[in-house]
Structure 1
Amino acid sequence: MSALAAKITKALTRNHEATSDFDLNPGTVLPVERELRSAGVLIGIETFDTVPQVILTKRSSALKHHPGQIAFPGGKVDAGDRDVTDAALREAWEEIALPRDLPRILGQLPAHETVTGFQVTPVVALIERPFEVRAEVGEVAEVFRAPLAHVLDIERYQIQSRRWRKTRRHYFTVPFGPYYIWGATARMLRGFASMMDAT
């Protein structure tokens, strides 16, 4: 096992609390009867190049949920999926043509609740060989990479805010070049960075 794989695996075995889009908004009152839909996303880390990089996508502006935002490949768990990992791998194949047998799964981050009613489980995996990226038409506008060192650097994270549904909502951001990484994606990455920092 590589040093990076060993460090990530060790970090993922530590006990950490689940996260949510409401972490920075403690006054938010959530309906007790709310039903969260299960989803899985893939934090795919490419390790075959000079520096490890995380695969990210820019979602189509035509999508119902999180249009135009930066996201991990992934989506809701369908009836045919065995679990969240299976869903993440299926969605990564559909969205960016990542072969299902290519990622080496290392583990999962704690689940993350989104404002749109999903309970998202981030699945962390190493991608040790190149593959031909094909963005799914109508769902993925762009596929790009961000250096792992960039998203694991806690000092790069900022807290910003905007008005949402008549209230001011605070959230994490971790900008990278022309890409504004914020919201759920930034929060999950921030949690990953904290876990790695503690290892």
Structure 2
Amino acid sequence: MREPQPFDAGAGMLPDWVPEVPHNRPPVHAAVLIALVRRAGGLSILYTERSPELRSHSGQIAFPGGKVDPTDIDAADAALREAWEEVRLDRSSARVLGYLPLYYTGTNYLITPVVAVVEPRAPFVPNPSEVRSVFEVPLSYLMAPGGFTTFRIQRNGREHSTWQIEHSGLVIWGITANLTRRFHDLALAPEGG
């Protein structure tokens, strides 16, 4: 999509999993950057390993991103600001291509995925208060058969499944893997496949 999907509060969006107790407040708007990093060997997608010191989702793999602040112009501005804060991705090296559909989480976040091509002018540097490490997964790996598997998790006595990507000893699962798979299906999968 060339523009972010508008949020319709009356649309009754279902989250990726349903919490035991329904939320009694509007969702928190957030944005993540699906950065297609141009390297000599081809394009790759940028991921972060979150710091183990964080209160939520500590140690998990994520895209750069976070809450949309009142001072952000839009979701793209928020995603690029967060990418700078988390890994020193210079916004002038990024060209926004578009957006994936909104993704509503069971933790009550409404995420706008922002897709951009990045031609880095300097190495990515993790902010140690938020990010333990930064790594990239080649698009060729994600497009290959077997790049994705499913992961099953128990939550509130119910089993849920999510996409999973294993790469270089790290496991990408949950929201990040689901968004990666959505990107795969919308932008990478061959027509009819």
- TM-score by length of structure 1 reads 0.82
Aligned to 1:89: 80
Correspondent of 1:117 among 103, 108, 111: 108
Change (3 A) 1:63 1:129: closer
Aligned partner letter, 1:38 = H
Aligned partner letter, 2:16 = D
Unpaired segments of 5 or more residues in structure 2? Answer: 6-12
Aligned pairs for 1:18-97 (under 5 A) are 20-22=15-17, 31=22, 33-97=24-88
Structure with higher strand content: 2
Partners of 1:130 and 1:42 in 2: how far apart?
18
User: Which is worse superposed, 110-119 or 129-138?
Assistant: 129-138
Aligned to 1:158: 149
Correspondent of 2:139 among 139, 148, 163: 148
Change (3 A) 1:94 1:29: same
Displacement, 1:152? 3.5
Structure 1 runs (4+) greater than 6 angstroms displaced: 27-30
Q: Secondary structure at the match of 1:130?
A: coil
**8 Å CA contact retained: 1:19, 1:110:** no
Determine whether 1:98 maps to 2:115.
no
**8 Å CA contact retained: 2:30, 2:109:** yes
- TM-score by length of structure 2 reads 0.84
Partners of 1:116 and 1:29 in 2: how far apart?
11
Determine whether 1:169 maps to 2:160.
yes
Determine whether 1:134 maps to 2:134.
no
**8 Å CA contact retained: 1:105, 1:126:** yes
Q: Secondary structure at the match of 2:168?
A: coil
Superposed CA RMSD in Å reads: 2.3
Q: Secondary structure at the match of 1:35?
A: coil
Correspondent of 1:190 among 181, 186, 190: 181
Partners of 2:142 and 2:111 in 1: how far apart?
19
Partners of 2:178 and 2:100 in 1: how far apart?
11
Give the number of aligned pairs: 181
Aligned to 1:178: 169
